[in-house]
Amino acid sequence: MGAQAIDGAAVAAKLQERVSEETAQFFDERGRRPCLATVLVGEDPASHTYVRMKRRRTAKVGMESRHIELPADTTTTELLATIEKLSADPGIDGILLQHPVPQHIDERAAFEAITPSKDVDGVTMRSFAAMAFGEPGFHSCTPGGILRLLDAYEVELAGKHAVIVGRSPILGKPVGMLLLSRDATVTYCHSRTSDLADHVRRADVVVAAAGSPELVRGEWIKEGAVVLDAGYNPGNVGDVDYIGAAERASLITPVPGGVGPMTIAVLLEQTLVAARRR
């Protein structure tokens, strides 16, 4: 068949353009710019790169950013105090804690210290509950980006079978909830799943989010399925065998340039929403 590549960079650029225009309007109306605070713990090179990228994009759409960098030996208590201070700061609209944090820190406790009204990365349990129950709240950014890609390419989800490969609390689990809210039938698969190939073969929509290079083989993909690869591994390799899957799928996200650009675009969109709600 030969799949059409989903151009996440183009969809993200359109979203960021709209956010930029609405940010300028917000400034005209309120006399201030939305502000995103980023918190980075430790010296992980990839995390530093991601945060720099997010701060550049924040500036590009006309928002302010405040960056807090903490040493690798920061304790959970110290990190919680930093996040709680940002949560109480009226000059901050959104808070992003770059993850993963060093292993000795209780990451879940740190996420939960973010006040829900500023959880623009969609990482708290309250945000997950909002996604699960269809209540107002913030989407986890990568799952939210996946939904926006599906909408941009007019993929009908009602009645379709979606298979999620991965169950992380900020990617696999929430994307399943968002697909369920669109009336898809959702199957979660993971490292303990028996006959993973059989599950994937029955899927109309596949979301690969396991963090395992080319785990999902091309021959597993059903003819005409839509494939969203949320994995990113060394060497620009996703969680899907792209060449093999593209022969059978109708739509597929490349790595890079597919799901990745949408994550930051949704983060910026939700920061603007948080500023408006305040």
- Domain spans in the chain, listed from the N-terminal domain onward: 31-116, 140-259
- pLDDT reading at 169 higher than 90: yes
38 within 8 A of 65, measured Cβ to Cβ: yes
Q: How far is CA 219 from CA 148, 177, 244, in A?
A: 27, 27, 7
Nearest Cα to Cα of residue 82 among 118, 124, 114, 128? 114
Range 244-248 average pLDDT: 98
Q: List Cβ neighbours of 84 (8 Å cut-off, separation of 6 or more).
A: 113
pLDDT tens track for 53-100: 999 999 999 999 999 999 999 999 999 999 999 999 999 999 999 999
Q: Which residues of 240-278 are buried (b: 16+ CB within 10 A; e: fewer)?
A: bbbebbbbbbbbbbbbebbbbbbbbbbbbbbbbbbbeee
Tell me which fold the domain 31-116 belongs to: Rossmann fold (3.40.50)
Number of neighbours of residue 55 by Cβ within 10 angstroms: 17
Q: How far is CA 69 from CA 40, 43, 175, in A?
A: 5, 9, 30
Task: Return the pLDDT at 1.
Answer: 53
Please give the model's pTM, rounded to 2 decimal places.
0.95
Cβ burial, residue 154 (10 Å; 0-12/13-18/19+)? exposed
Catalytic residues: 54, 98, 121
Range 139-168 average pLDDT: 98
* Phi/psi of residue 163, nearest 5 degrees: -115, 125
Coil, strand or helix at 266: helix
Task: Return the pLDDT at 46.
Answer: 87
Range 223-247 average pLDDT: 96
Q: List Cβ neighbours of 252 (8 Å cut-off, separation of 6 or more).
A: 3, 4, 5, 6, 226, 227, 228, 229, 240, 242, 245, 246, 258
Task: Return the pLDDT at 132.
Answer: 95
Q: What is the share, in percent, of the chain residues with pLDDT greater than 90?
A: 95
CA distance 85 to 119: 14
What does the mean pLDDT of the chain come to? 97
- Name the band, by pLDDT with cuts 50, 70 and 90, for residue 164: very high
Range 209-230 average pLDDT: 97
Do the two domains 31-116 and 140-259 of this chain adopt the same fold?
yes
pLDDT tens track for 133-152: 999 999 999 999 999 999 99
CATH class of the domain defined by 140-259:
alpha beta
Q: Are strands 4-5 and 185-189 parallel, antiparallel or unpaired?
A: unpaired
Q: Are strands 226-229 and 205-208 parallel, antiparallel or unpaired?
A: parallel
Task: Return the pLDDT at 65.
Answer: 96
